[in-house]
Structure 1
Amino acid sequence: MTNTQQPVSTDGADLSWIDDITMTALERNPYPSYERLRREAPLAFVPVLGAYVASTAEICREIAMSEEFEAVITPAGGRTFGHPAIIGVNGDIHADLRGMVEPQLQPVEVDKFVDDLVRPIARRYLEAFEDNGRAELVADYCEPVSVRSLGDLLGLQSVSSDQLRDWFHKLSNSFTNAGVDENGEFTDPERFAQGDQAKEEIRAIVDPLIDEWIENPADTAISHWLHDGMPAGETRERDYIYPTIYVYLLGAMQEPGHGLASTLVGLFSRPEQMEEVVDEPNLIPRAISEGMRWTSPIWSATARITKNPVQVAGVNLPAQTPVILSYGAANHDTGKYDAPTDFDLHRPPLPHLAFGAGNHACAGIYYANQVMRIAMEELLEAIPNLERDESEDVEFWGWGFRGPTSLTCTWEV
């Protein structure tokens, strides 16, 4: 995933500053670099990532929808998940994997179970701290509700929420270990050990469950993945579905938790809008949509690759050129949104790209939104006087996946 092309803007301006972008800067705060990319080189080769980057809404959507591109997983993602991960395959394999996961995620199916699944989990976590008058909501509520809900859906009730959270953090650190040198070699290969450790722990727990579900199918997502759509007496091979299990244990667990936390931070930045949402819970879906645009949890973790030579945004891309789609940057595109760095509940409801686009858009859009909606309903009903502890800063972290690292709140008991 390397290219030695010297970046030049469409007007011939020098773009050598792109060579100085570092992974540390991107993980701490990718917005300044991507704002400049949108302005000067909306499709540009970024050496530290070893790939082209699309940073505007128009270009991201064009590439995601184009038949001239197909899905590809980034090298760090491929190193983390293995093959065939659902986010990086095409053709018959992609059709089979989507057909494997989508039936349980259709809105009509999600509506049958999501309330009974998520609401008791949210209430259980709230009961642990609602009388304390203080909590760190990322660790105490947002992430636990997200991972517990998906863990139970997958059939991992025996795995603690702390273990699930540990897995997705380790997989995230591995997946986003994208930094490369001028030869395309990873600059921090030891960081992949975190993902390897998580996968080893996952297989030790999930393998016996798969053994059981092969012989005795159950109403769990992983059991359905083994059996659904297969000839009688046959199941999908476990090595075939494990990369997609890892995808779920990272992205599908991370997205609702960090989307919820980011939405809360956004609302706290507009106290009058927080008050509106508390008073009118029917505004919660709109707040969540704005929160997902404002800080997209899956910020820049998907990619496409050219099937043939193609020109996009005035840039000639040879065949087999990978392009990272930075949806988090696209959702701050000033050509599409007014004052995009501001959280605004009343922003005109324009479509955003937090869940991607095209045939590789997130399969769990509806499910994730319902988890966040229910979790916020329960939180604000139990603690309507929730306030952010202004004595502690809120720090966001991540370039591939992004969300607040902590969110300390207080309330009168």
Structure 2
Amino acid sequence: MTSTMSWIDDITMTELERNPYPVYERLRVEAPLAYIPILGSYVATTADICRTIATSPDFEAVITKAGGRTFGHPAVIGVNGAIHEDLRSMVDPALQPQEVDRWIDDLVRPIARRYLSDFEDVGRAELVAQYCEPVSVRALGDLLGLQSVSSDKLREWFHKLSVSFTNAGVDENGEFTNPDGFAEADAAKLEIQSIVNPLIDNWIENPDDSAISHWLHDGMPDGQTRDRDYIYPTLYVYLLGAMQEPGHAMASTLVGLFSRPDQFEQVVDEPGLIPRAISEGMRWTSPIWSATARISTKDTEVAGVDLPAGSVVLMSYGSANHDHSVYEAPSEYDITRPPLPHLAFGAGNHACAGIYFANHVCRIGLEELFESIPNLERDDSSDVEFWGWGFRGPTSLHTVWEV
């Protein structure tokens, strides 16, 4: 299949990964729901179309081809019906607001303070690698029960899984253009299983309060647990998306605030503004930029486009969050804009389960950072580069301050 516009046929994975915004801005104007040959699927780029499809009874969840190759089946983000209900009943309880409120401070603040103690007296740090990502992966790793796995190893896993999941380029026959792009994630999954399988063996016999232990036991008849092969695809989802999102949201928020020094100073002086700053950061650079999909269950029409049954549509929430019909000057970071809802966490019954958890990891991380280093500045001698089309965030963030 090809598009009706030749420029769409020339879109490459490289330009999407480096900077998808110009392509998606043009799509929103000229073809807000269009078939993109390099992705092998339709792409929804406006807020209205994304929300319509995400909540429509004529569509159900499906995992992207590269996502399926990365996670396997059944991954919570790509199933429906009874299996989706069971997997959500497995993962949701630990992430409910009243449950998160019970332990989030005791979990995240010591982690944040531990990483801050490594560099707060140094006067410079690269915050993506030294703080944002480590706080994010350590918080979720400890919640899952992976205290024995180092933060560096957790970061390595989610980076390898991310490269695999976004290795989405296909040729005219629907075959991956870079089949070798899955090799590192395949090796990482084998390593994950070698480390987690003994933990599962113990949790089966000795359940505890870790999330994975609850996944095994909750809702099961006495003496039975969920099969490990059944939960691994969802665990891979967590080790990628759930570990990536808070850290990259925190880093993107910092980059946005650095672009508005007056707002940065205001947020440091008024910590109560941090949640608003994070919300704008997630809108401005959505960590899960274009990584979820839906499939039409019957012939249907959306935004004037006929979609045959079985049509896969990528939900480009990062593009929707830059929709000019919703946001004024959307490419600018601005905490003073009206607090309109954004789509960084998706919509419908497949919206992200970890909304509350992720927001509070970011909040606590930034509270601790600003309290310890209120005079934080971006190191202007180093550029900030963002990477990613499926998942997006700054690759590094060099900062300095007076000690």
Answer whether TM exceeds 0.5 for this pair.
yes
CA distance in 1: counterparts of 2:112 and 2:287, whole angstroms: 20
The TM-score, its normalising length taken from structure 1, stands at: 0.97
SS at match of 1:184: coil
CA distance in 2: counterparts of 1:253 and 1:197, whole angstroms: 19
SS at match of 2:263: helix
1:128 aligns with 2:118: yes
- Of 9, 18, 23, 2:8 maps to 18
Gaps of 5+ in 2: none
1:70 aligns with 2:60: yes
CA distance in 2: counterparts of 1:288 and 1:344, whole angstroms: 11
Residues 4-403 of structure 1: pairs in structure 2 closer than 5 A:
4=1, 6-8=2-4, 15-403=5-393
SS at match of 2:219: coil
Q: Which amino acid aligns with 1:244?
A: T
Q: Count how many residue pairs are aligned between Structure 1 and Structure 2.
A: 403
Q: Contact conserved, 2:3 with 2:37, CA < 8 A, in 1?
A: no
Deviations along 1:93-143, one digit per CA (max 9) or x if unpaired, are: 000000000000000000001000000000000000000000000000000
Deviations along 1:175-216, one digit per CA (max 9) or x if unpaired, are: 000000011000000010011011011000000000000000
State the shift of 1:16 in Å. 1.0
- Of 392, 409, 412, 2:399 maps to 409
CA-based RMSD: 0.4
SS at match of 1:180: coil
State the shift of 1:387 in Å. 0.1
CA distance in 2: counterparts of 1:348 and 1:230, whole angstroms: 45
State the shift of 1:342 in Å. 0.2
SS at match of 1:174: helix
Q: Which amino acid aligns with 2:49?
A: I
CA distance in 1: counterparts of 2:190 and 2:120, whole angstroms: 36
CA distance in 2: counterparts of 1:97 and 1:347, whole angstroms: 37
Deviations along 1:135-180, one digit per CA (max 9) or x if unpaired, are: 0000000000000000000000000000000000000000000000
State the shift of 1:390 in Å. 0.6
Which residue does 1:11 correspond to in 2? Answer: none
Q: Which amino acid aligns with 1:74?
A: T
SS at match of 2:290: coil
CA distance in 1: counterparts of 2:265 and 2:254, whole angstroms: 12
CA distance in 2: counterparts of 1:144 and 1:33, whole angstroms: 32
CA distance in 2: counterparts of 1:190 and 1:82, whole angstroms: 17
State the shift of 1:255 in Å. 0.0
Q: Contact conserved, 2:60 with 2:296, CA < 8 A, in 1?
A: yes
Q: Which amino acid aligns with 2:186?
A: D
CA distance in 2: counterparts of 1:198 and 1:190, whole angstroms: 14
Deviations along 1:328-379, one digit per CA (max 9) or x if unpaired, are: 0000000100000000011100000000000000000000000000000000
CA distance in 2: counterparts of 1:36 and 1:185, whole angstroms: 27
State the shift of 1:7 in Å. 2.6
Gaps of 5+ in 1: 9-14
Deviations along 1:201-238, one digit per CA (max 9) or x if unpaired, are: 10000000000000000110000000001111110000
CA distance in 1: counterparts of 2:89 and 2:137, whole angstroms: 23
Q: Contact conserved, 2:290 with 2:314, CA < 8 A, in 1?
A: yes
Q: Which amino acid aligns with 1:294?
A: W
CA distance in 2: counterparts of 1:201 and 1:340, whole angstroms: 41
The TM-score, its normalising length taken from structure 2, stands at: 1.00
SS at match of 1:151: helix
CA distance in 2: counterparts of 1:319 and 1:176, whole angstroms: 25
SS at match of 2:161: helix
Query: What's the % identity of the aligned pairs?
Result: 77
Q: Contact conserved, 2:291 with 2:316, CA < 8 A, in 1?
A: yes
Which residue does 1:12 correspond to in 2? Answer: none
State the shift of 1:307 in Å. 0.2
CA distance in 2: counterparts of 1:79 and 1:167, whole angstroms: 16
Q: Which amino acid aligns with 2:195?
A: I
SS at match of 1:135: strand
Q: Contact conserved, 2:127 with 2:396, CA < 8 A, in 1?
A: yes
